[in-house]
Amino acid sequence: MSCYSFLRMMMFVVNGVIFLGVWFAVGVGIWVKVDSTHLREGPGRSNSTPDAVLNVGYLCIAVGTFLLIVGFMGCWGICQESKCMLLVFFVLTLILFIVEVAGAVVVLAFSSVADIFVEHLKKWAMKSLKEDYERQEDLTAIWNTTMKELKCCGFNNYTDFNSSYFYQTHMEYPSVCCLDDKPCKESEIDHQKQGCLHAFQVFLSKNGKIVGGVALGIGVLELAAMVVSMNLYCKIGTAS
């Protein structure tokens, strides 16, 4: 196999991975968009769902569309041996790589960004937990799933349910917070279960290497795509 044929094959492999990313990003975006719209517009629903949730859906769709354009440019450039398309593919991939690096630098350099995000998350979480838990079926299911999977109770701890709609209605805490897995009084609370914020932070600390490895893999893939596309750009017209 010639070097030129190998580079063409590698380009198809890279774009195949990109297209997988497209399906994932667009799928997540559509799911978030549909789910958040249902939360806003369903019977008896309020506007407690933050705009940030809906924006995440739009962001995923936008990223998926961008990746689709990038992948199309790469495949078209290979099939048609178009130096122009390969150059556009290289530039778009470079822009994406620079944006990702810049975002990582901002997150690492300005920890206050994460604090601001957590603060906004806390406001929404506390509002939905106190006002909508049990009142809205979808939000209740989200909270129950989160608390069961992370083995947590409330956002900070079980006292977040004090003065909540659920507690005022039943004068008890949700079953997921209790020792016997059924609604209970404060004396029967499972105190080993901490707030979901703390549980999520523990989860991230344990899985941080996986997240970092995925991010590193994406960066390496993008670098490989740029190297391969530039090599093909230089070899087109000279390959026999």
Domains of the chain and CATH, by start: 3-109+209-235 (no CATH), 115-196 (1.10.1450.10)
Q: Which of 61-70, 72-81, 149-158, 215-224 has the highest mean pLDDT?
A: 149-158
Q: Residues 14, 232: contact at Cβ < 8 Å?
A: no
For 117-147, b where at least 16 C-beta lie within 10 A, e where not — what string?
Answer: eeeeeeeebeebbbebbbbbeebbebbeebb
Structure tokens at 203: 């989860």
- Cβ-based burial of 220 (10 A; exposed 0-12, middle 13-18, buried ≥19): exposed
Query: Is the pLDDT score of 159 beyond 90?
Result: yes
Give the pLDDT confidence score for residue 137 in this predicted structure. Answer: 85
Query: Is the pLDDT score of 228 beyond 90?
Result: no
Contacts for 52 with CB less than 8 Å, ≥ 6 apart: 120, 124
Query: Is the pLDDT score of 147 beyond 50?
Result: yes
Structure tokens at 225: 């795509």
Distances 184 to 158, 174, 176, 238 between C-alpha atoms, Å: 12, 7, 10, 77
- Report the C-alpha gap between 88 and 67 in whole angstroms: 13
pLDDT greater at residue 82 or residue 25: 82
Give the pLDDT confidence score for residue 164 in this predicted structure. Answer: 93
The mean pLDDT value of the chain amounts to: 77
Give the pLDDT confidence score for residue 66 in this predicted structure. Answer: 78
Give the pLDDT confidence score for residue 204 in this predicted structure. Answer: 72
Give the pLDDT confidence score for residue 179 in this predicted structure. Answer: 92
pLDDT tens per residue across span 26-63: 676 676 666 555 545 544 444 444 455 556 567 667 77
- Report the C-alpha gap between 165 and 148 in whole angstroms: 20
Report the run of H or E that residue 134 belongs to, with start and end: none
CB atoms within 10 A of CB 42: 11
Give the pLDDT confidence score for residue 169 in this predicted structure. Answer: 93
- Report the C-alpha gap between 124 and 32 in whole angstroms: 17
Give the pLDDT confidence score for residue 160 in this predicted structure. Answer: 93
Residue type, 199: A
Distance of CA 37 to the CA centre of its chain: 18
